[in-house]
């Protein structure tokens, strides 16, 4: 099934890179995982007040009104970001992903041109770079095509016509942490919120507000940068820290990085050249438009 495993790069590609992330100071969150803040010892079963939990961050966030809101209640702040996105019904962007699936040693890397519609849920991706380049485009529309992913092959494979695959098929998921059915800026932030809520129940979150920073991966776009560290992800113990890049104008998650205990990248996602609420042609998410 070389065809299946090679072309199904709908959520990324399969170029291999070393998994070790380089280390730099905390002022550059794109690479370095800062040293976790030290918090006073607390009696078992109690939570220290926010002033103690986030004391290490006060001196770096005094000029940022949003920083105080975030540090006082990180989960509520992120939920506020989700609330601000209710008017976003669709978007286009360049989506770059680096993922090291469970049990694998290498990062799978690729960049796609994405067209996304919220209701009914639809995602169309065209490979820009990375991967085997055996698929030109993929399309998934909830409730259509028997809920299968439609693949437009490239090269000589195009003679065989469109291919249809279950998005959760093990061969389709090979090299991916999440299926195309869960793609989206809002969906990614929702997963982070859910993880942070679970961690918060176990003890105070160790978070940092790293401020407004220009992000090279997003063509220098200025983002609010947040860091959660110090504890394992409840659903994936390999993940020990998460950095989130938020567009301060829209509240959208435009970058996300997951790191393991050794400082290596587990996953990294970038949503560049983002355009909200574009006008799509009526047939843009129809199988007949894949040509």
Measured N-to-C along each axis, helices 74-83 and 65-72 cross at an angle, to the nearest 10 degrees, of 120
Give me the number of domains the chain comprises.
1
Beta strands (DSSP E) in 179-264 are: 206-215, 221-229, 239-246, 253-260
Residue 84 lies in a domain: yes
Domain assignment present for 168: no
Report yes or no on 199 lying in a domain. Answer: yes
Q: Is the dihedral of CA 13, 185, 249, 22 positive or negative?
A: negative
In a domain? residue 261: yes
pLDDT (tens digit, 9 = 90+) per residue, 183-210? 999 999 999 999 999 999 988 899 999 9
- At 4-32, the pLDDT tens digits run 333 334 333 333 333 333 323 333 333 44
User: Does 74 map to a domain?
Assistant: yes
Distance (Å, rounded) from C-alpha 113 to C-alpha 72?
37
* CATH number of 93's domain: 2.50.20
Domain of 259, in residue numbers: 64-120+178-278
Within a domain: 291: no
Global confidence as pTM: 0.78
Q: What's the pLDDT at 235?
A: 78
Say if 28 falls within a structural domain: no
| Residue 246 within a domain | yes
């Amino acid at each position: 099934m070389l065809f299946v495993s090679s072309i199904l790069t709908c959520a990324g590609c399969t170029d291999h890179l070393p998994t070790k992330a380089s280390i730099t100071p905390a002022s550059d969150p794109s690479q370095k995982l800062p040293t976790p803040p030290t918090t006073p010892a607390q009696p078992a079963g109690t939570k220290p007040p926010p002033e103690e939990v986030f004391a290490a961050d006060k001196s770096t966030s005094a000029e940022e009104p949003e920083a105080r809101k975030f540090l006082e209640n990180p989960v509520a702040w992120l939920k506020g970001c989700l609330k601000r996105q209710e008017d976003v019904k669709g978007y286009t962007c360049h989506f770059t992903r680096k993922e090291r699936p469970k049990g694998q040693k290498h990062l799978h890397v690729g960049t796609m041109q994405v067209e996304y519609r919220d209701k009914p849920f639809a995602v169309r991706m065209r490979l820009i770079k990375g991967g085997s380049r055996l698929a030109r485009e993929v399309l998934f529309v909830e409730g259509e095509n028997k809920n299968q992913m439609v693949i437009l092959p490239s090269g000589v494979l195009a003679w065989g016509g469109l291919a249809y695959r279950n998005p959760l098929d093990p061969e389709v998921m090979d090299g991916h942490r999440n299926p195309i059915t869960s793609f989206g800026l809002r969906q990614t932030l929702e997963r982070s919120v859910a993880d942070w809520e679970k961690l918060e129940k176990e003890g105070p979150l160790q978070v940092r507000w790293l401020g407004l920073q220009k992000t090279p991966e997003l063509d220098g776009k200025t983002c609010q940068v947040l860091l959660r560290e110090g504890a394992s992800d409840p659903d994936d113990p390999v993940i020990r820290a998460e950095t989130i890049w938020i567009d301060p104008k829209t509240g959208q998650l435009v970058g996300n990085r997951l790191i393991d205990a050794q400082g290596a990248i587990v996953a990294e996602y970038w949503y560049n050249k983002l355009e909200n609420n574009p006008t799509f042609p009526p047939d843009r998410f129809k199988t007949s438009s894949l040509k």
